[in-house]
Structure 1
Amino acid sequence: MQAKQIEWFHGGRSLTAINAIFRPQFTFVDLFAGIGGFRIALEELGGKCLGYSEIDRTSIQVYRDNFIRYSNLDEKELGDIQLLNKLPFDVDIIAGGVPCQPWSIAGKLRGLNDPRGQLWLDTIRVITLNQPKAFILENVRGLTEPRHKEQFDSILAALSEANYVVKWRVLNAFDFGLSQDRDRVFIVGIRRDIKGGQNFQFPEPLNRRPKLFEFVEGVSKKPVVKKKFSPPVLFGDNIPPSRGRFQKTDELNDFFLFSDVRNGQTTIHSWDLIATSDREKQICDIILKNRRKKIYGPKDGNPIPFDGLKALISDLEMAELDRLVEKRILRFIENRGYEFVNSKISSGIGGVAKIYLAHAEAIGTLTATGTKVFVATKTFDCQNPERYKIEFIEKIYRPKHYKEITARDMARLQGFPEPFILDNNPSRAKKQLGNAVPVPVVYHIARSLLVLNPFGNEVQNSF
């Protein structure tokens, strides 16, 4: 039963993990274990988990359902890392994804001043006390950005002072075979007495460009050949100086954003979906372009009073705004002014925040908080910039040829194996998966570490 449990976890790809039950190649501890993304990768490489630390009870249940139920019944549940000190055993690798919210744009950007950020100090303490041969840690890319430089440098310095050669790199899940644009910083440390530790190199991207339809069930798997355009054809005189990795200046986007508070090549507004006159569209566009100006308030988007709108549109009548309020495109905030009803990017419009085309190379970063993200179920191959949004609304949006990303889709996009048992509550499962580490990225990092043979065995021969 033990061997069967491990075998289906890894799709029967190798016997390494099965043999590890009897002859582990190395041992590890799983900190901030979540639902086990690190563990899947490390077990595939022949590792044996000696203990795990996690405080979320629903995640622990999923972890136990997948890893403890049939085997490792004597494995230690280590509890809260804040209470951990010297472990009751020696361990080769300490691995874990330290909670990322303090460093994330989606969080409060408080870093080490946030109690969750201070978990880095606990992580460093546990590593210092236990002196594993190596460690692999993960966090959001935001930790490496200039606003956190001092804190990030202090983390690296503390890990180095704990007797480790420390290296770090930002890696993207897409580069390791997943259709997800997910940047994460990985920090690897090798104890200074380990021969060859200085030679560690992070893995290079795989020679593969996956498509979203490989990971999402119930969508068209027909590839689309994208046409190239001169940037002025798509953007006119306002060619953006920089674009996201999967938004190019010479081709149409592979997604449609539903938002009244942002603009873009493939942004769909409520006035594109609701019957509105050209004049009403003009009023909405002017509000959109001016709502973030600081003269209307300190926030990143504020209601604009009638007098302010009158200064922007000299012939504006109150009745015109009343009609847009009746259509539930605008709302009036007492003593402040007019703003869009759909004023939150994460809420989208009508419960839809973004729809990706199935032939897209990558979906945006999956998060624990989540947004209403969907994938078109039908092939959409319009290559006419002037008709692109119109035909999408007619052929995909109005007939509802799209589906919400499911928890199982998210699991695939994070590299979890098909038989992995998810939480039976889809919302909880999505939250857990949004917090998880992309399994293939950990696998290739750990593989690069193990080829150095830091544990004095023949582990590198098992790849």
Structure 2
Amino acid sequence: MKKEIKFSFIDLFSGIGGFRMALDNNGGECLGFSEIDKDAIETYCRNSDEPIENNLGDIRKIKQLPKHNLLTAGVPCQSWSIAGRNLGFDDDRGQLWNDTIFLLHQSKPDAFIFENVKGLVDPRNKEALKYILERIKEAGYHANYYVLNSFDYGVPQNRVRIYIIGFKNKKFANKFVLPKPLQKKIKLASILSDFNEQLIDKKEEVYKDLFGEIVPQKTMSLSTSNGLNDYFLFNDLRNGHSTIHSWDILETTERQKSICYLLLKNRRKSAYGNLDGNPLSLKHFQSLDPSIKKNEIESLVDLGIFKKVNYSYSINGNLDLELTENEKVIINNCPGNILIVDDLKTNRELKLKKISLSKTIPLMIEKGMLVPIEVRYDFKNTKISTGLYGINRIFLPTSNIFPTLVASDTNDYVTTEVIRAKNQDEHKDLFINEVFKNKNYRRITKEEACLIQGFPSDFLLPENRARWMKLIGNSVSVPVIDALAKAIVETGVFDINSDLSSVKLKSNSVNTHENQLLGSARNVC
């Protein structure tokens, strides 16, 4: 049966087709897509039966778009994400917003949906978001932005994103109503291929029947059962009843454990530095507990729980050395001839000039320019997302959600073991002995990753894990776009359009006089 075409659309930064799938389901007809990643292009075309010739190519080279009703764009997010350097429009990739808004202004569709990471609405990016919204308004659109979590719209994933939605006609902008979150959420257990979801359909009742009423306890988890977290975090920098530390895994004495907790509880205090987490010197440890000896700290270094760090250096200005440009910048940002590494980590000039401290400082030491003057101790594993020993988090099947899928993959795992504990101590002990030690955990499969993003489990992706994880992690969640598309259609914005031509124009179309005029303004749009 031939579907009813309600509107036409152009799919910019199309990825593997998350927008495409949702819009097709709502009566949309794709007139062209724009993508430069080879794997993404092949995946998009295989799953949508779209001829590869309809790829408009690099957005920076598109001069004219086919006439269409709806423009979509998942603008690359690195400039605004926490994982990036947070440079916004100082990052070249941020300029892709200018190209997107230029094409919006040039093609004048009835409506648009732009998607980006939550970082764009963070206070540090306030001016950047304001700039984008102002340019959209200058392009002739009435727009608003919404911060939505994919979990609320039909996938078991904690994925918070910003969606900017706009209309050319204010009447339809006023009619747009944000879709309400689903009352019944899809849980993680429902997508695990080797688990019987019925076993935990009524998990609260199961716990209550086994142990009676359990008083919920304060928790920072996104998913809990009777006050007990539904996942375990492998991390030395955080603490909680479901946190597994390296000293829980390695054989350590109670004394060693107490020294580890001393560092954990004090490293975020401003008295020890300007960062969120700071190493402590032997003197710092002894100010907290005078009985601590240097050999006790060193024993934790030997175990691989602590590491030594050269916290500060004196700058030897007497040497007649030829400085590189990077070395000059570093020295100019060190008052009093003292270089404190952690102070330079937050220096904006070094970020803008992409100066690597880990590469430059060892070369300066080798030249004799820097002499260590203070040694401190920190946890060896200080990258939160990396976790410990290759594990970041292990999620129980009772969890409501799985964390945000990202292009680089994560060290997050799932287990199909259900833990029923009476208290927090038992909860942790059962996990360590029944799940961790027995290695009863695994990574999510390709089929599960598809379901977590709202794609069908048989969606065609490359076999290599790194390749399919990059594609699925960069995609939008299909059910969110589906709900937004329905809400846009319901405004009636496309009802007045009689011309839904499916003629597909190529990106090298001849410029009209209007395009020639717009081209000169592209860099400021």
Q: What is the TM-score of this pair, normalised by structure 2?
A: 0.76
Q: What residue is the counterpart of 1:124 in the other structure?
A: 101
Residue 461 of structure 2 aligns to a residue whose secondary structure is coil
Instruction: Tell whether 2:87 aligns with 1:110.
Output: yes
Residue 113 of structure 2 aligns to a residue whose secondary structure is strand
Q: How does 1:316-355 map to 2 (within 5 A)?
A: 316-333=292-309, 336-355=375-394
Q: What residue is the counterpart of 1:76 in the other structure?
A: 54
Q: What residue is the counterpart of 2:465 in the other structure?
A: 426
Q: What residue is the counterpart of 1:404 in the other structure?
A: 443
How far residue 168 of structure 1 moved from its aligned partner, in angstroms, is 2.1
Q: What residue is the counterpart of 2:42 in the other structure?
A: 61
Given candidates 82, 95, 110, the residue that maps to 1:133 is 110
How far residue 254 of structure 1 moved from its aligned partner, in angstroms, is 0.9
Pair 1:75–1:453, CA change in 2 (3 A): farther
Q: What residue is the counterpart of 2:64 in the other structure?
A: 86
Q: How does 1:14-413 map to 2 (within 5 A)?
A: 19-20=2-3, 24-68=5-49, 72-73=50-51, 76-87=54-65, 89-192=66-169, 196-219=172-195, 221=197, 222-223=199-200, 224-225=203-204, 230=215, 234=217, 243=220, 245-246=222-223, 251-333=227-309, 336-413=375-452
Q: What residue is the counterpart of 1:7 in the other structure?
A: none
The answer to whether the 8 A contact 1:220-1:379 is kept is: no
| 1:191-247 deviations in Å (ceiling 9; x for gaps) | 127x6442011111112122101122224532122567556xx45xxxx7xx46546
What is the CA–CA distance in structure 1 between the aligned matches of 2:221 and 2:440, rounded to whole Å? 26
| 1:127-161 deviations in Å (ceiling 9; x for gaps) | 00000111111111221222222221221222122
Aligned residues: percent identity? 39
The answer to whether the 8 A contact 2:214-2:422 is kept is: no
The answer to whether the 8 A contact 1:377-1:403 is kept is: no
Residue 394 of structure 2 aligns to a residue whose secondary structure is strand
How far residue 53 of structure 1 moved from its aligned partner, in angstroms, is 0.8
What is the CA–CA distance in structure 2 between the aligned matches of 1:245 and 1:349, rounded to whole Å? 21
How far residue 61 of structure 1 moved from its aligned partner, in angstroms, is 1.9
| 1:152-188 deviations in Å (ceiling 9; x for gaps) | 1221222122222212211111111111111111111
Residue 178 of structure 2 aligns to a residue whose secondary structure is coil
Residue 347 of structure 1 aligns to a residue whose secondary structure is coil
Amino acid in structure 1 at the alignment position of 2:174: Q
How far residue 381 of structure 1 moved from its aligned partner, in angstroms, is 2.1
Pair 1:423–1:354, CA change in 2 (3 A): same
The answer to whether the 8 A contact 2:41-2:52 is kept is: no
How far residue 338 of structure 1 moved from its aligned partner, in angstroms, is 2.1
- What 5-or-longer segments of structure 2 have no aligned partner? 311-373, 499-525
Residue 369 of structure 1 aligns to a residue whose secondary structure is coil
| 1:97-120 deviations in Å (ceiling 9; x for gaps) | 111121112222222222111211
What is the CA–CA distance in structure 1 between the aligned matches of 2:126 and 2:291, rounded to whole Å? 50
Structure of greater relative contact order (alpha carbons < 8 Å, 6+ residues apart): 2
Q: What residue is the counterpart of 1:10 in the other structure?
A: none
Residue 345 of structure 1 aligns to a residue whose secondary structure is coil
Greater displacement, 160-169 / 218-227: 218-227
Amino acid in structure 2 at the alignment position of 1:157: E
Q: What is the TM-score of this pair, normalised by structure 1?
A: 0.86
What is the CA–CA distance in structure 1 between the aligned matches of 2:221 and 2:110, rounded to whole Å? 38
Pair 1:174–1:325, CA change in 2 (3 A): same
Amino acid in structure 2 at the alignment position of 1:454: V
| 1:402-430 deviations in Å (ceiling 9; x for gaps) | 11123322211000112211122211211
Amino acid in structure 2 at the alignment position of 1:342: N
Q: What residue is the counterpart of 1:3 in the other structure?
A: none
What is the CA–CA distance in structure 1 between the aligned matches of 2:15 and 2:159, rounded to whole Å? 18
What is the CA–CA distance in structure 1 between the aligned matches of 2:172 and 2:30, rounded to whole Å? 24
The answer to whether the 8 A contact 1:135-1:188 is kept is: yes
How far residue 396 of structure 1 moved from its aligned partner, in angstroms, is 1.2
What is the CA–CA distance in structure 2 between the aligned matches of 1:75 and 1:45, rounded to whole Å? 24
What is the CA–CA distance in structure 1 between the aligned matches of 2:257 and 2:429, rounded to whole Å? 15
